[in-house]
Structure 1
Amino acid sequence: MQGIIQQNYQGIEALQIKSIEEGPLTPLSVMIRNKFVPVLPYDWQTESGALTEIRPVQLPIVIGYGFGGIVEQVGRLRHSSLIGQRVIGMQPNGSAQEVINNKIPPLLFKVPDQVTLADAITLIGGADAALHAIKALQIQSTDTVLVNRCFWRGWYLFNSVTEVSWGHSDCLDQCRESGFCSSIRRR
Structure 2
Amino acid sequence: MKKVSFAKFGGPDVLQLVDAEAPHAGPCQVRIAVRAAGVNPVDWRNREGQFQRVRPIELPAGVGQDAAGVVDEVGEGVERVEIGDQVFGRGSSTYAEFAVLSSWARIPEGLTFEEAAGYPSVVETALRIIREVGVQPGQTLLASGAAGGVGSAVLQIARDRSIRVIGTAGAANQDYLRSLGATATTYGAGWVERVRQFGRIDAALDLAGSGVIRELVDLTGDPRKVISIGDLGAPELGVRFSGVAGSMPDALADTVRLIAAKKLHIPVEKSYTLADAAAAHIDSQAGHTRGRRVVVPENSDHGLQR
TM-score by length of 2: 0.43
Q: Name 1:109's counterpart in structure 2.
A: 105
Q: Which runs of 5+ in 1 are unaligned?
A: 132-140, 173-177, 183-187
Alignment-derived partner of residue 119 in structure 1 = 115
Deviations 1:29-54 (A, max 9, x none): 42201112222111101111211111
Equivalent in the alignment of 1:3: 3
RMSD over equivalenced CA pairs, Å: 3.7
Question: Would you say the 8 A contact 2:66–2:118 is kept in 1?
Answer: no
User: Are the equivalent residues in 2 in contact too, given 1:74–1:80 (CA < 8 A)?
Assistant: no
Tell me the distance in 2 between the aligned counterparts of 1:142 and 1:53: 32
Deviations 1:37-95 (A, max 9, x none): 22211110111121111121111011111111111232453237432222112114x22
Aligned to 1:99: 98
The answer as to 2:157 corresponding to 1:161 is no
Aligned to 1:180: 261
TM-superposed deviation, 1:120: 2.6
Percent sequence identity over aligned pairs? 19
Q: Which string of whole-angstrom CA distances, capped at 9 and with x for unpartnered residues, describes residues 91-134 of structure 1?
A: 14x222111133x3xx2222221333333323233238xx8xxx
CA contact (8 A) 1:123 1:155 kept: no
Shift of 1:23: 2.6
Taking structure 1 as the reference length, the TM-score comes to 0.66
Contact in 1 for aligned 2:66/2:89 (Cα 8 Å) = yes
**Aligned position for 2:60:** 60
Q: In structure 1, what residue type is equivalent to 2:261? A: F
**Which amino acid is the alignment partner of residue 181 of structure 1?**
K
Report the residue type matching 1:59 in the other structure.
L
Q: How many residues align?
A: 161
Q: CA deviation at 1:142?
A: 7.9
For the residues of structure 2 that align with 1:56 and 1:95, how far apart are their CA atoms?
18
Question: How far apart in 2 are the matches of 1:46 and 1:111?
Answer: 27
